[in-house]
Chain A
């Protein structure tokens, strides 16, 4: 496995969606290629830092204000629209 082939498998490797034979090849490549080892380590740290950091908090007062506004709009328009035959066939529901 060369670096380009390794890179093509990187997403599956991080997501644990790689079959055992390929995983052995990936690990073998990592043992011999310091550049790819650094890429794996620093990419993992990139993901961990973003996951571990609180992004864009929604303060409680803003949350309450938004929820109140949403509920008022919903109450003003009554019940949800009835599903039509077309909408019931929509793919992403």
Chain B
């Protein structure tokens, strides 16, 4: 039988880290220096976030060249508009918001006959209700080597509509909070929760083909 404790229960059993109340985020000092013309400070911000921005762009566009271009454009735009960043949100969330917009614009250019937005295909009923109730093997990924697993995960997430894929990427892969995800995407918190549920259920349904008990021989 599967464990039925919640993630909240798991967290309660972990040691609580010391938190300094209201400590300013270290990025704010780097941003202030960059605003004053310190290029080394801005380069430090690039080093900190280039991988997150690249991954986010690649998850949305599914194209490595586009993701590289977008990463460049995001940091260049951020530099140009740095004085508009007032520190009301995390600097990383501000960057992710730019990255999402740039990535969706890139998708629109690629698919000129179709509009691509956060709302695209979110009305689909696919995956809204679970249909597959097969149990999975205890460590399902162990039946595949790293390359096979990477391909399965890539194909599966690429099949999601962009609106679901983006929410899942930010919330579950990049570990943004629900509120940060909502802010980065310009969505309400309930909209993020709804799309996250649909994205998780659709991925689960698709991965089940590979990971369910009884298909050990079929890769």
Interface residue? B66 (CB, 8 A): no
Contact status of A11 and B197, CB under 8 A, knowing A47-B172, A66-B72, A88-B86: yes
Chain B residues within 8 Å of A58, by CB: 50-51, 54-55
Minimum CB distance partner of A46 in chain B: B204
- Quick check: A74 and B42 within 8 Å, CB to CB? yes
The residues in A between 56 and 82 inclusive whose CB is less than 8 angstroms from any CB of B are 56, 58, 62-63, 66-67, 69-71, 73-75, 77, 79-82
Interface residues of B: mostly helix, strand, loop or mixed? helix
Which size class do B's interface residues fall under? 35 or more
- Quick check: A43 and B2 within 8 Å, CB to CB? no
Query: Which of B71, B203, B211 is A50 in contact with, Cβ under 8 Å?
Result: B203
Minimum CB distance partner of A79 in chain B: B37
The residues in A between 30 and 44 inclusive whose CB is less than 8 angstroms from any CB of B are 30-31, 34-35, 37-44
Q: Once the chains are docked, how many angstroms separate the CA of A75 from the CA of B86? A: 22
Chain B residues within 8 Å of A90, by CB: 84
**Which 4 residue pairs spanning A and B have beta carbons closest together?**
A16-B8, A41-B2, A83-B83, A80-B82
**A positions within 8 Å CB-CB of B:** 7, 10-18, 23, 26-27, 30-31, 34-35, 37-47, 49-51, 53, 55-56, 58, 62-63, 66-67, 69-71, 73-75, 77, 79-83, 87-88, 90, 92-93
16 pairs from A and B in contact (CB 8 Å cutoff)? A11-B197, A31-B4, A35-B130, A38-B135, A39-B201, A41-B2, A42-B207, A43-B204, A46-B200, A51-B173, A55-B58, A56-B55, A66-B68, A71-B39, A71-B43, A73-B76
**B positions within 8 Å CB-CB of A:** 1-4, 6-9, 11, 34-35, 37, 39, 42-43, 46-47, 50-51, 54-55, 58-59, 64, 67-68, 71-72, 75-76, 79-86, 88-89, 94, 97, 129-130, 133-136, 140-141, 149-150, 153-154, 157, 168, 172-173, 175, 178, 183, 186, 193-194, 196-197, 200-201, 203-204, 207-208, 211
